Amino acid sequence: MTSVVPVSEGLWSRAAAVLGAVVLALAPGVPAAADPTPGQVESQINDAWNALEPIVEQYDRVHAQLLATQARIDALRRRIQPLQMQVDLAMARVGAMSARLYETGPGSRLAALLNSGSADTVVDQMTTLDELARRRTAEVAGVAVLRDRYLAEKAPLDALTAQLAVQDAELAARKRVIETRLAQLQQLRLAAYGTARGALRPVPCPLEYLGDRGSIVAKKACDAIGKPYIWAAAGPNGYDCSGLALAAWGSVGVTLGHYTGWQWLAGTPVTRDELRPGDLVFYFRDLHHVAIYVGGDWVVHAPHPGDVVRMTHIDAMPIAGYRRPG
């Protein structure tokens, strides 16, 4: 059964502290020794987002687990429903048999014997009713055992759903706080740079096109350039980082989970020298960011809220490793 990973309070506290400090430091009117350079502003914003993105990925994982568990419960419910109908029908039949047996109790049976003139006829009728009742009871027992087995399977899934729903709601609430604060950061970024987007496609994208499946993936990622970063989205109107990888590889029939940790485990390890268009490049020790390689040491990624899908150099962030899905 899927395990529930508790929401990290330490992670949230550190992220909130970093973001609050950056917003305060960059806020207009705060005394400073000198106005920060654009590079310094970018560095501080990146620090804030790197503290926050693990929470985004945690939300993606929990939300995906919740949807998968709900799907399993729905499947079990569809299997339980006809079994319950069989139990109800069988119980109704047993009830009818019991009523007939009651009606043919000792007094009624004697009257039937006197009226029929044949003891054998009455005995045969009573024996038939008894046998039918036993069969119906056995039917009820068999179907009920199967129904109860499915109900037993469903019970822990119900409990898991409740836990995941609590985490999902908690992370969604934190998401709203993060998005509000990141919007403040983007306003500060606009003030520092004059634009929040810069050059989205500094070189042809993909820079290498080999005509293979990975190149199709790379082209799909390139086609998303300019689309907004949307938390927990996998297109077509916006993406987060793992959602972009999911959609790009989904275009060639490869299924990836909507979580960087799952995508890391789903791919075959490759070295930097072996990189081909479409390969996934993971960043930071906790793997909280992923990009799609498009050739020539360039990647496409969804950076953070307030920004858009864009190209960047492969070494723009600390690399954790490389994977080739499929």
- Residues marked active site are found at 241, 289, 301
Q: Which of 13, 73, 53, 83 is CA-nearest to residue 289?
A: 53
Task: Report the chain's C-alpha Rg in angstroms.
Answer: 32
Residue type, 304: H
* Sheet bearing 298-301, strands edge to edge: 268-269, 319-324, 280-283, 289-295, 298-301, 310-313
Question: d(Cα 7, Cα 11) in Å, to the nearest integer?
Answer: 8
β-strands 289-295, 280-283: how paired?
Answer: antiparallel
User: What are the respective helix, strand and coil percentages of the chain, to the nearest 5?
Assistant: 65, 10, 30
Give the contacts of 276 (CB within 8 A, at least 6 positions apart): 208, 210, 212, 214, 270, 293, 324
Q: Which of 222, 211, 275, 276 is CA-nearest to residue 248?
A: 222
